[in-house]
Structure 1
Amino acid sequence: MRNFIKNLGPGILVSAAFIGPGTVTVCTLAGVEFGYGLLWALLLSILSCLVLQEMAARLGIISQKGLSEVLREEIKHPVVKILALTLIFSAIVIGNASYEAGNITGAVLGAEALFGVQKLQLGDFSLNLWSLLIGAIAFALLYSGNYKRLEKIFIGLVLLMSFSFVLTAILTRPNLTALLKGFVPSINSTTGLLGVMAIVGTTVVPYNLFLHASLVSEKWKSPSALPIARKELLVSILLGGMVSMAILVSAASAGFSNIDSAASMAVSLEPLFGSYATWFMSLGLMAAGITSSITAPLAAAYVVKGCFGWNGGLRAAKFKMIWAFVLLMGVFFSSLKINPIEIIRFAQVANGILLPVIAIFLFWIANKASVLGENRNSKWQNLLGAIVIAIAMFLGFKAILSVLQNF
């Protein structure tokens, strides 16, 4: 057990990355609108995440390289290589810079529910001090370049999220019979289908595939570490899945019908279940925002490093320049409450295309003996991978259509 705890890290960061404000909000709204009815979709998303993240972890440990670096080396056709790397660069770097505002804002909403609104008026502009503080915390942790310190911080934050959201779910006293029925697959309407898409899409995150491959290559240097990496990933993703389910169960059990975000649910819980429920929900939301506000810039930096073949790790100047850009954009948009609509639309379209494309590229790499040798995909891994890719292609197609319909 002591050896297992010592090896916790990369999987925990991946788990913390997908439990961001987006996941908290999606699971909250799913619980409010459909009750326990989409728990099966959440379970499906967790299994899909495990399949793809295991491939990414295996690639990182065996090749000792990040996913974008391997793609740059293995895609031989110059035109295909340029198109693939441009798509990845655009979607991850620009997309993460856009979504970083949402990550920081999620943490801000949690902080405001606990400690109130804190603003600084500068002429006609009003700066949210919580945005600046959370951005400063993320900047300090990333700037230190200490991977072991990051691991410890994330383990603490994930445990805080788990504690907060699970206790909130218990306080709302769920109906166990109805909860168990929620694991039986069913879709009753078009809205239900959109709910399934949102849940799977917010759990199987494209940038996590890049982040995980890079993190495991830095933590473990021998193929003998593959079994412990798989165990660590399994525990971390299941823990993240439990947190997501707890959020959905809390929203479903509370019986609200006019909740539009996790922050508003946190405030609404107090009259029914006491101040503790509000505190637990708000603490969890704040922790979710902080973890995602660190992992999104980190993933963007790893992607750029691989695309351009840069040397050096967390302490390299170029590496710091990329994550600092993503983080500062997030702080700026969050503190001024600017909504970069066109950038976000571009990011949605790019990520809608990116998920199935990256899943296919990862599947292709995972079957290459020249890269993974005897650790390439087995028949069962190929079967599971093909199923996940089919789901990713369907979700990607639907995501693109939904964005185009809004133009």
Structure 2
Amino acid sequence: MNKKTKSFRDRLKEKAKAIGPGALIAASFIGPGTVSTATEAGASFGFALIWAIVFSIITTIFLQEMAARLGVVTGHGLGEAIRDQFEKPILKYSMVIVISFSIGVGCAAYLAGDLTGGALGISMMTGIPQNYIAPVIGVIILILGLTGSYKRFEKILISLIAIMSVTFLTTMIVIQPNLSEVFQGAFVPSIPSGSIVVIVALIGTTVVPYNLFMHASSAKEKWGSPADLKKARWDIILTITIGGLITIAIMVTAGAIIRGTEKAGIEALALALEPSLGGWASVFISIGMLAAGFSSAMASPLGAAYTIGGLTKWGTSFDRWQFKAIFCVVISIGIITSAIGFEPMQLILTAQALNGLILPIIAISLLIVMNNKNVMGKYVNSLKLNLIGGVIVVIVSGLGIYSLVDAVSSFMDAV
């Protein structure tokens, strides 16, 4: 009996130790933008769009599995693989420049929002202005980047995922939503009038281009042998599914208590939770927002550093000064813009358009690399994975075109 118990504990510890790179990805896509989008989706359409989150999580798992497999099998990141895949200098350097610029600008442009969103959590409890708190969060992350290591980031982000899980899943359980409606929204796709923009936003905040680079590089740091692929897949399925459940919990909570209200922001959600949670309502939502902002703000400059460092072959580890330099530049831009309250709308719209374009480019490049036997050996994609990957590429290409058109329209309206 004791032997069996010990064996179970050993297996449990082994699975717990396998958690790591996937947590970085989950922490990356559960940011203030995801919280706001999920809240808006629930407030506007109830539980009808849960299926979009389910779809985006399945898509993310498939793409991230390929990226992680690449890192574990080859010992190289996606950036290095893409650079080596294309031999013609014009194509190679065009890819390097376009992807590096798009992701670098995108991460820098959105980081201020992550810092400000995290600051909102503290501001809701203290009343201190967000532009005072956001730079402090940014400086903390900057110090962690300069003095830390991959393992430290991994531990912090796993902790933040745990905090968000407890916070948002608890609020969903407390309000006791109609489970039959929840399951219907999850497995019976529908597109209510006016919901297409929200659906694109829900998928776009989950399937993030730079996460593919970050996952390949972090996976090769975590595991050094193809024998570890089973652990890598366990990590991916567990952590990204938890990330999806957190997003679903936010949407369900909003759909149950603030659907149809005029004010559908995160503050309105906290206020509407007071009958169920009392004075703890604001605390729960504030902690959730702080964790979401902090986690995404940590992952964003990290993703930029992994992407640009890999594509340029400057290095994808914390012991390379170039890697830390990229991290510092991105986080510094976020600190400055969040401190002055500057919202670089035109820059954000440009980043949105570029990221919409490069997502299918990166997905196609990943598929090409994963079918290169000289690189992957016997671990190349199966026919089934290629078919699924092909469908994903078609869908993300459609999303990319839509995002580009939407960004250009918004840019013209702003001008």
Q: TM-score of the superposition, structure 2-length normalised?
A: 0.93
Per-residue deviation, residues 31-80 of structure 1 (Å, max 9, x unmatched): 00000000111100100000100000001111111111111111112211
Contact kept? 2:46, 2:256, Cα under 8 Å: yes
Name the counterpart of 2:164.
161
Deviation at 1:261, TM superposition (A): 2.8
Q: How does 1:2-401 map to 2 (within 5 A)?
A: 2-118=13-129, 128-183=131-186, 184-189=188-193, 191-256=194-259, 257-270=261-274, 273-311=277-315, 313-401=317-405
SS at match of 1:232: helix
Tell me how far apart the structure 1 counterparts of residues 83 and 266 of structure 2 sit (CA, whole Å): 40
Of 171-180 and 32-41, the range deviating more from structure 2: 171-180
> C-alpha separation between the residues in 1 aligned to 2:315 and 2:53?
38
Cα distance in 1 for residues equivalent to 2:93 and 2:397 = 22
- Whole-angstrom CA distance in 2 between matches of 1:284 and 1:389: 33
**Offset, 1:175:** 1.7
Asked whether the 8 Å contact 1:263–1:285 carries over to 2, the reply is: no
**Partners of 1:230 and 1:312 in 2: CA distance:** 22
* Deviation string, structure 1 residues 153-185 (Cα, Å, up to 9, x no partner): 111110000000001112222122221221211
Shift of 1:260: 4.1
Q: Which range moved further: 273-282 or 323-332?
A: 273-282
Q: 1:162 to 1:338 in 2, by over 3 A?
A: same
Aligned-residue RMSD, C-alpha: 1.4
AA at the equivalent of 2:252: V
323-332 vs 313-322, which deviates more? Answer: 313-322
> What is the percentage of aligned positions where both structures have the same residue?
39
Q: Which amino acid aligns with 1:18?
A: F
Whether the aligned pair in 2 keeps the contact of 1:42 and 1:200 (CA below 8 Å) is: yes
How far is 1:272 from its partner?
Answer: 5.8
Q: Is the Cα–Cα contact under 8 Å of residues 211 and 302 in structure 1 kept in the other structure?
A: yes
Q: Could you say which residue in structure 2 is the equivalent of 1:123? A: none
Distance 1:284 1:318 in 2: 33
Q: Distance in 2 between matches of 1:263 and 1:319?
A: 37
Find the residue that maps to 2:211 and give its secondary structure: helix
Amino acid at match of 2:184: K
* Amino acid of the structure 2 residue aligned with 1:389: V
1:25 to partner: Cα distance: 0.8
Task: Return the alpha-carbon distance in structure 2 between the equivalents of residues 30 and 109 of structure 1.
Answer: 20
Q: Deviations over 1:292-351 (max 9, x none)?
A: 111110111111211221246213221111111110111111121101122112101100
State the one-letter code of the partner of 2:115. Answer: I
Q: Structure 1: which amino acid aligns with 2:170?
A: L
Q: Describe the shift of the 1:263–1:315 C-alpha distance in structure 2 as closer, same or farther (beyond 3 A).
A: farther
Alpha-carbon offset, residue 277 of structure 1: 2.3
1:259 shift after superposition = 2.9
- Where in structure 1 are there 5+ consecutive unaligned residues? 120-127
Report runs of 4+ in structure 1 exceeding 4 Å deviation. none
2:68/2:219 contact within 8 Å kept: yes
Q: CA deviation at 1:81?
A: 1.3
Question: CA shift at 1:273, angstroms?
Answer: 4.1
**How far 1:404 sits from its partner (Å)?**
1.4
Q: Which amino acid aligns with 1:390?
A: V
Matched letter for residue 366 of structure 1: M
Match in the other structure for 2:8: none
State the Cα deviation string for residues 60-103 of structure 1 (Å, max 9, x = none): 11111111111111111221112211111111111100000011
TM-score by length of 1: 0.95
